[in-house]
């Protein structure tokens, strides 16, 4: 079951897809391909664990409700969408969506909310957790994270980072920067699938998907969410 809520901001409104009936809330932030079949699949996985999931249309200022197939032909368009993305307004939009999620009756009874993002959304989730009060953060291969480690001090929530050690888009030495930065922070952890490339969890993208690293990372994510957002 899914429905669409509206998020109203000062200069417009955008869609927020919602799945689930009762439980802690998770704001699910998209890859560069939009809120499509992969985000739907992840949302269904999270609903099965007992969460209420909401995925905002983060590209609404460029092209509302845009999504595309997960293939090489779509990559240039996805990269173009990111190049046009206003990060300052985008973080504000995501925080507004988080507010709507917190206010949903299905979540209000529980009260706790987390943020989970992949790729483009992994960076965005990180920035949201630095700006807003969340109870849990999971960031998968956010390419912007290594260059924004000054934001770590602002994140008080339990945090789990995931990276691939063989990522063509994120250098291993940049991943090592994140490893060193979180090493002394008790509320943060980082997991590197050394055999994982970029977007290894995306089972809707044959060019990226790697079942074994994906399964290992997702088990860790499930365990982390159970600890930080108990159902």
Q: How far apart are CA 64 and CA 183, in angstroms?
A: 40
- Chain CA centroid to CA 202, Å: 12
Residues 6+ apart with CB under 8 A from 99: none
Q: How far apart are CA 226 and CA 38, in angstroms?
A: 22
Q: How far apart are CA 117 and CA 137, in angstroms?
A: 9
Kindly give the confidence (pLDDT) of every residue in the chain, 231 residues in length, as a single tens digit, with 9 standing for 90 and above.
799 999 999 999 999 999 999 999 999 999 999 999 999 999 999 999 999 999 999 999 999 999 998 888 888 999 999 999 999 999 999 999 999 999 999 998 768 999 999 999 999 999 999 999 999 999 999 999 999 999 999 999 999 999 999 999 999 999 999 999 999 899 999 999 999 999 999 999 999 999 999 999 999 999 999 999 998
Residues 6+ apart with CB under 8 A from 80: none
pLDDT digits (tens, 9 = 90+) for 75-118: 899 999 999 999 999 999 999 999 999 999 999 876 899 999 99
Q: How far apart are CA 109 and CA 101, in angstroms?
A: 12
Give me the sign of the Cα torsion angle 96, 99, 104, 110. positive
Query: Which pTM value belongs to this model?
Result: 0.97
Asked whether 155 and 177 are in contact (CB, 8 A), the reply is no
Asked whether 126 and 151 are in contact (CB, 8 A), the reply is yes
Asked whether 137 and 158 are in contact (CB, 8 A), the reply is yes
Residue 25 β-bridge partners: 52, 113
C-alpha distances out from residue 53 to 27, 45, 203, Å: 6, 10, 19
């Amino acid at each position: 079951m899914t429905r669409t809520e509206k998020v109203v901001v000062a200069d417009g409104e955008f869609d927020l897809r919602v799945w689930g009936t009762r439980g802690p809330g998770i704001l699910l932030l998209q890859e560069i391909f939009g809120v499509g079949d992969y985000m739907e699949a992840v949302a269904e996985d999270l609903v099965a664990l007992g969460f209420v999931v909401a995925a905002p249309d983060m590209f609404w200022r460029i092209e509302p409700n845009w999504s595309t197939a997960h293939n090489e032909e779509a990559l240039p368009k996805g990269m173009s969408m990111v190049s046009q993305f206003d990060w300052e307004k985008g973080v504000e939009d995501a925080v507004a969506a988080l507010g709507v999620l917190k206010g949903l009756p299905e979540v209000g009874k529980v009260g706790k909310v987390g943020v989970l993002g992949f790729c483009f959304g992994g960076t965005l989730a990180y920035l949201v957790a630095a700006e807003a009060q969340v109870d849990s953060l999971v960031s998968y291969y956010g390419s912007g994270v290594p260059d924004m480690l000054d934001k770590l001090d602002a994140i008080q929530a339990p945090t789990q980072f995931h990276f691939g050690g063989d990522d063509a888009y994120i250098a291993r030495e940049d991943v090592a920067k994140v490893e060193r930065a979180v090493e002394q922070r008790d509320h943060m952890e980082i997991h590197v699938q050394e055999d994982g490339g970029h977007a290894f969890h995306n089972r809707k993208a044959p060019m990226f998907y790697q079942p074994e690293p994906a399964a290992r990372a997702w088990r860790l994510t499930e365990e982390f969410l159970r600890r930080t957002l108990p159902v």
